Structure 1
């Protein structure tokens, strides 16, 4: 029992700051509350959440954002990882360049790309104008805003995915590749039959981390567009923040519960499925 006493301070902080607020939010999601008053209203907050166009749009955008960012990070992270573990010139420098965006503040990345993607004075559109291309409103066009932020998020996070893949790739015994070469396997067959199956643990890690981060993303979206134009780039986290700012505390608490349930409903079965596939190898 002696070592367990050292867990008590951390456990107390975890219970007070996470467990208690989590369970309390499930109750307050069914109420209309302020700091001084609580009124139980049943499922009204959830009905409003799923019938209000702004809120339902945020729910849809959250799923799109999580799926696309996770998928792109897996594909690009694996390709970059394979490239940076091969015998190429300036490999160490390229690894540092790829990983550098991970170290930069999310707010800093958002402000930087907000300037770069400016439709009039941004470097990207000015560069396109040199080649006679009329650049679009990356962050002002409702059809492009969300996807522009997705591209920035992938740029910011693909370095971590590549690092995880590199750790998995260097752990693969080279004897497998040498034996495959002797048998006449092409580069594609070696990649498909050796590399992909043996980096499955890394793939599981990248998928889970990227999905959790994508479904909960708030800072980058809020800095770059504030959920706009209109509600075009709103996600659940930004909608919840706006409802708190408007004083609809019960509705925003219901949004937090919905976000918690959505993330859990996606991540837990996916984690179980990916790990089951891994054990079958």
Structure 2
């Protein structure tokens, strides 16, 4: 039986092992990696993490935008938000808007993807037309749809008057205003979901589908038992990206409902508190931190629990 090595011998062995792998070539590759990655790391730290931590600090202040004086209030802004009557309203509107837009865009996107997967004439044009709204400016989309929904001069009101009906007050009614922006946001984003689902559908193994068809499985049975499970990685990816996008939706809401008439999501309420008549920068920062924590928790929950139901093979 060999005697145990002394501490000096063990340290020498470690240095020899490290020297074996830390070759001149490895050192050159490390310097190249550092030279390529360091500028990006610095930019991310300066333009992402620095504003994030600065915003967290501002959320502890009672600060009026533009004022040179600010008072430290600690958790006061958070306590005020969660104890106010507006908190339940804002969180409820955020939940309704997010669930409706994410669910609607994913469901309609899947149906559109199934239709676009069929080999018909004009397939390429149809795919481009479906995806086009997603790449359009949110400001432009909001202005066009605002004209359509206008209860006096809008295209929809003109069509309804042709049938002897009056146009709903989409802009003035808080409930209808929320429905209006949900419709527009789903219309704009379903093309994104459709294209991603289409890519998933086209990567399906044809031999598996043919085998199920030979076994007597109908189209609906094949879709439920084979297509949907195989699309679970695609669905998981779309769910995460669409959820993050919907929780941060701002441009369309801002253009179509300038004062947040029933459309006060967390991000829009933060904007209104900072840049409207209130000018409460500290309180606005606290609301944005709440949104950041919510995004973090939802993403972590999806990665922890939803991914378990994803089939990658």
Q: CA deviation at 1:171?
A: 0.3
> Residues 29 and 251 of structure 1 are in contact (CA less than 8 Å); yes or no, is this contact kept in structure 2?
yes
Q: What corresponds to 2:303 in structure 1? A: 271
Q: Secondary structure at the match of 1:32?
A: strand
1:21 aligned to 2:51?
Answer: yes
The reply to whether residue 252 of structure 1 matches residue 284 of structure 2 is: yes
> Is 1:2 the counterpart of 2:31 in the alignment?
yes
- Structure 2 unmatched runs, 5+: 1-29
Q: Aligned residue for 1:86?
A: 118
Unpaired segments of 5 or more residues in structure 1? none
What is the count of residue pairs matched by the alignment?
A: 279
Aligned to 1:236: 266
Q: Does 1:173 align with 2:205?
A: yes
Q: How large is the Cα RMSD of the aligned pairs?
A: 1.7
Structure-1 residue corresponding to 2:158 = 126
CA distance in 2, matches of 1:88, 1:194: 24
2:174 maps to which of 123, 142, 147: 142
1:34-80 CA deviation, whole Å, 9 max, x = no partner?
Answer: 66334221221012212333454222211111111111111111111
TM-score by length of 2: 0.85
Asked if structure 2 preserves the Cα contact closer than 8 Å seen for 1:217 and 1:237, the reply is yes
TM-score (norm 1): 0.94
Query: Which shifted more, 135-144 or 186-195?
Result: 135-144
Is the 1:49–1:56 contact (alpha carbons within 8 Å) kept by the matching residues of 2? Answer: no
Q: 1:15 to 1:122 in 2, by over 3 A?
A: same
2:72 aligned with 1:43: no
The higher radius of gyration belongs to 2
Q: 1:227 to 1:182 in 2, by over 3 A?
A: farther
Shift of 1:216: 1.1
Range with bigger deviation, 271-280 or 107-116: 271-280
Which segment is superposed worse, 104-113 or 18-27?
A: 18-27
